[in-house]
Amino acid sequence: MKIYTRKGDDGTTGLWYGGRVAKADPRPEAYGSVDEAASALGLARAAAEKGSELYADILRIQSELFVLGAELATASEAAERLEPGVSKLTGAMVDSLEATIDSYMERVDLPPKFVIPGGNELSALLDVARTAVRRAERRATEIPDLGDDLILRYLNRASDAIYAMARFADDPDPELFGGRG
């Protein structure tokens, strides 16, 4: 099976369920940024301890970002064809992120100033992923027919969740909470 089609050689890309847009169109810009964020989270997951809470939460967010990517890659006129939880975000996904944020933040003491990334490898990788999610959020706001504000709510919460996870991974006293990573 060949993975190249040559259809994008003219500077356009296909959307799910039809249609072509310029590769610099806001939709490919947004779902491309979501893809970058999922890849950055992959680096963080590779640095996390397999089977840990962080590993599982990173993997869940990566999976949800693929759902979001599918939704962003679909023209708004075909949105009714998307399946909630598979190719379309759900409110439960946002709610789950809020629970994740609360769970991590109740176990972290934040310093009274900005946090400089790089406390350790895992927290630094999570901070890189967080900034990629923030970029995806900015790109999504440029889609004129975005429609559902659930996309923006999800991206906003995802970056907050990743921030909370990074601060948890950054904690200088791993014995306090049964270990990190």
Which pLDDT belongs to residue 172?
57
Pick the CATH number of 24-109+116-171 from 1.20.1200.10, 3.40.50.720, 3.90.1150.10, 3.40.50.1100: 1.20.1200.10
Q: Is residue 139 within 8 Å of residue 151, measured between CB atoms?
A: no
pLDDT at 3: 87
In this prediction, residue 31 carries a pLDDT of 97
pLDDT at residue 111, rounded to an integer: 75
For 111-141, write each residue's pLDDT tens digit.
778 888 889 999 999 999 999 999 999 999 9
Q: Which residues of the chain have pLDDT under 70?
A: 172-181
Q: Could you write out the DSSP letters of every residue in 54-83? A: HHHHHHHHHHHHHHHHHHHTB-GGGGGG--
CA distances for 91 relative to 95, 142, 163, angstroms: 6, 22, 21
Please give the backbone phi and psi of residue 12, each rounded to the nearest 5 degrees, phi first. Answer: -115, 165
Q: What is the pLDDT, as a whole number, of residue 60? A: 98
